[in-house]
Amino acid sequence: MVFNIDKKSISNNLRHIFGFSEFREGQEEIIRSIMEGRDTLAIMPTGSGKSLCYQLPAVMRTGLTVVVSPLISLMKDQVDFLNSRGLESCFMNSSQSWNESKAIVKDLLNGRYKFLYVAPERLTMNSFKFILNDSDISTMVIDEAHCVSQWGNDFRPSYGRIGKTITSLVKKPLIAAFTATATFQVREDIVKSLEMNYPSIIVHGFDRPNLFWEVVRTRDKDGTLLAELNGLRKKYGNCSGIVYAATRNDVDRVKDLLDNGKMKVLKYHAGMKPTEREKNQDEFINGENSLMIATNAFGMGIDKKNIRFTIHYNMPKDLESYYQEAGRAGRDGEESNCTLIFSRKDIVIQRLLMEKEKLNRTSYTRRNENLQSIINYCYTSGCLRNFILDYFQEFQTHRGCGNCGNCVVDHEVSDITLESQMIISCIYRLREFFGPKIVAGVLKGNEDVRFREWKIYDMPTFGIMKGYDETVILHFIYSLCGDGILEYSGKSGEKLRLNLKSKEVLRNERRVMIRKHIPAHGLSKADRML
């Protein structure tokens, strides 16, 4: 079904119903695709106005638009907004009584509503399918569509069943899927899972120019966190922020550390009572000077304008998760900070969490590759913004952005070309068969019964770096990986592999520089370099 594409009507509705005089970048192309009747997958940066992209087309045609959304609070906010604009809208979720749900279903079947917001768990229930079939559905909107993909950063089984639910309907509606993060593979998986029909895939950039990206490597996470918060408070004054931690225990401990009366400190994780989580979330959204300490369960769909910073106390499991979570800062377009506090222990934590999931070989391999990408991000000496954009295949031609920790923060620079040549030579002599720890052990000249069995003791590179601390050798190796001079291979992605850049270093055609990080917010008492 192709809908009426009348520029004058579009302009009038944009102005009179939604209160905008013009489109933001990317919106018009997506709206046109939907109004042409094409299944559409749109990847848009956080805060770029994706809701308008499906709400405006819905106004200009008959039928119901069903919006699949993961958060109750987001549903309520959207429904309240649409109703205030004279667009009859409702939501169905677990917060409603049976009588309330029954009344909504009755009105749905009578054609009262233009929009229905529903959780994926409700949408995919067999009993709900009868309601969908008896409603005049025009479009099915999938918000946070990366949750559909098994390779996305927040896969949910209920999201994975949406495609089968849609195709089982008597009349298949138009599909419009939206997300802020999706690699090429995730995009393909979304299209396949939702069984989209020759979709229009529209990518409107991942860059958030207002965000300052920073990685702080440290042995003292608590001290670093306190110093970062003090620096950010001086920079932004009265503002709100989010501190993300990997586990519930970390959230509780960090909350106690920061609960000193200077800010309204809240916490959020799955171990809390639902009423307590909801209360804290509401306080954070409505507060002017609040700090939320949370696991990654918090934040999806949160539309709070004055979040000036996000700090990751632990490294997330992959770069997509980090981009999603960090990007909750600066949704209003104002200058904001995204800081990742990193130590080697973070890698151990993430690998333990992976082991608990009992993944099959394919899933483990992919998860390990994704984990390695964010490890490389933490170690790269190059532009952090460009690293993120390259990961999402939005390649940049310029060398630096001028607005990230690696581009503008002062660094002490050391030439480690000679050490890099030793490392590369060792990997070559080990036939690219081992990972960082074995390579570091060989270079250090460690006593290891396996080395005797493998006849490594006689290698020219055995013990060639015995004067270096093993953690320093590991740091060099990870830095080389972060800058793309070394790569990972093998089914589990745990073996070091050489590439063209490695050979250039060996031939003295490429110098290797390493930076000792001096954070932007004045951390002067602790050694921040691993």
User: If you write DSSP's letter for every residue of 290-327 in order, what string do you get?
Assistant: EEEEE-TTS-TT---TTEEEEEESS--SSHHHHHHHHT
Q: What is the pLDDT of residues 306-317, one digit of tens each?
A: 899 999 999 999
- For residue 318, count other CB atoms closer than 10 A to its CB: 26
pLDDT of residue 419: 96
Rounded Cα–Cα distance for residues 329 and 310 (Å): 6
Question: Cα 131 vs. chain centroid, distance in angstroms?
Answer: 34
pLDDT of residue 304: 82
Q: Are 242 and 338 in contact (CB under 8 A)?
A: no
Rounded Cα–Cα distance for residues 132 and 244 (Å): 38
User: CA separation (Å) from 61 to 29, 51, 87, 140, 338?
Assistant: 18, 17, 13, 14, 41
Number of residues assigned to the chain: 530
Q: Are 226 and 243 in contact (CB under 8 A)?
A: no
pTM of the model: 0.84
Nearest to 2 by CA among 34, 30, 29, 31: 34
Question: Cα 328 vs. chain centroid, distance in angstroms?
Answer: 10
Q: Are 34 and 1 in contact (CB under 8 A)?
A: no
The token pair that represents 341 in the structure block: 């506090």
Beta bridge partners of 240: 307
Kind plus residue range of the DSSP H or E element containing 436: helix 436-444
- For residue 286, count other CB atoms closer than 10 A to its CB: 9
pLDDT of residue 522: 43
Alpha helix positions (H), 332-413:
344-356, 361-379, 384-391, 405-408
User: CA separation (Å) from 185 to 366, 392, 412?
Assistant: 11, 10, 38
Q: Which residue has the tokens 């030793």?
A: 422
Rounded Cα–Cα distance for residues 134 and 61 (Å): 18
Rounded Cα–Cα distance for residues 43 and 315 (Å): 24
Rounded Cα–Cα distance for residues 433 and 423 (Å): 14
Q: Are 513 and 414 in contact (CB under 8 A)?
A: yes
Assign 3-class secondary structure to 396-424. Answer: CCCCCCCCEHHHHCCEEEEECHHHHHHHH
Rounded Cα–Cα distance for residues 265 and 231 (Å): 17
pLDDT of residue 3: 52
Nearest to 328 by CA among 372, 281, 368: 281
Q: What stretches in the chain show pLDDT beneath 50?
A: 1-2, 518-530
Which of helix, strand or coil describes residue 70? coil
